[in-house]
Each structure stands twice: as structure tokens, then as C-alpha cells.
Amino acid sequence: MKRNPLRIEDLTPLLSVFDMRTSIEFYTGTLGFEVVTSAGPSDDPGWALLRSGNVELMLNSAYEMPHRPPQPDPAHRAVHADTYLYFACADVDAAYTRLTSLGAAPSQPADANYGLRQLFLHDPDGYTIYLQHPVSTD
């Protein structure tokens, strides 16, 4: 068997967002990411690279300023309904408590039939975010 010369080692998803300030606040204030770098005005960048531990995530404004409409387009938001981000989280139950204390609306933690304890919530653009860890077999 031939070995593939490409060695993919990491993944940094790029999400298209309606309101960059709102998205950055959600990912930093609610999920604990930090802004590593951004492009554009510091108070409303058009692109940002976020990091939490070893996880990176890029956000890109769906609209160039000043062309952003006053409200999100429901059709554009509906496209995000089938995008899921799964993040490893050491303690899903503690995360639930923390998220609810911040005013987020996560699902109750539950054990999935494939061996992961999970909760999910939605970001401001309708992307589904799962926090999960393997169910202890002790």
C-alpha cells in the first residue's frame, strides 16, 4: 500500500457571519475563544482568526461594509442549518452550567448512543455547536 504524500495535520473552519461584532462576542464571551488576529477596522473587522487551546476558527463577514443589509436574510441563515461544529469538552455538565449562567440556551447534556456525552447550542448565525466528551466506562 502506497503512503499518501499529503499529510493533513489540522483543520481551521471558516464561517460566514452576518454581524462580526456579535459573532466575536459570542465566540469569545460565551465559548471562551480569543481573537488571534483580524483584518479590517478593529471595532468591526471583516475577518478574524479565533483560538481556544489548539482549536482555531475563522469568521468572515458575509457582507462588505457598508453593504450589509439591516437584517439577516432568512434564506442565507437557513443554509447554515446543516453545518455542525463538534468541539471536545472535558466536562459537558460544567459547560452547561457555565453557558446557562451566561444567558446561552444549550440543550441539556445527554449521552448519545455512540458513546459521547453532548450538548448543543446555536451561534448567532444558526450554526450548531456541539460540546462533547466520551462517556466514562468506569
Comparing 75-84, 114-123, 124-133, the range with the smallest average pLDDT is: 75-84
Q: How do residues 47-102 score in pLDDT, each as one tens digit?
A: 999 999 999 999 999 987 777 778 888 887 888 888 999 999 999 999 999 999 99
3 domain-assigned: no
Asked if the structure places residue 100 within a domain, the reply is yes
Residue 96 located in a structural domain: yes
Quick check: 137 pLDDT over 80? no
Give per-residue pLDDT as tens, 10-22.
Answer: 899 999 999 999 9
pLDDT (average), residues 29-52: 93
The total number of structural domains that make up the chain: 1
| Confidence at residue 3, expressed as pLDDT on a 0 to 100 scale | 79
**Domain-located, residue 1:** no
Torsion angle of alpha carbons 16, 21, 26, 29, nearest 10°?
A: 140
Residue ranges making up the domain that contains 77: 14-134
Inside any domain, residue 117: yes
CATH number at residue 22: 3.10.180.10
Q: In this structure, is residue 2 part of a structural domain?
A: no
Distance CA 107, CA 121 (A): 6
Task: Answer whether residue 50 is part of any domain.
Answer: yes
* Contact between 82 and 128 (Cβ < 8 Å): no
pLDDT score recorded for residue 117: 98
Per-residue pLDDT reduced to its tens digit, 42-60: 878 999 999 999 999 999 9
Residue 9 lies in a domain: no
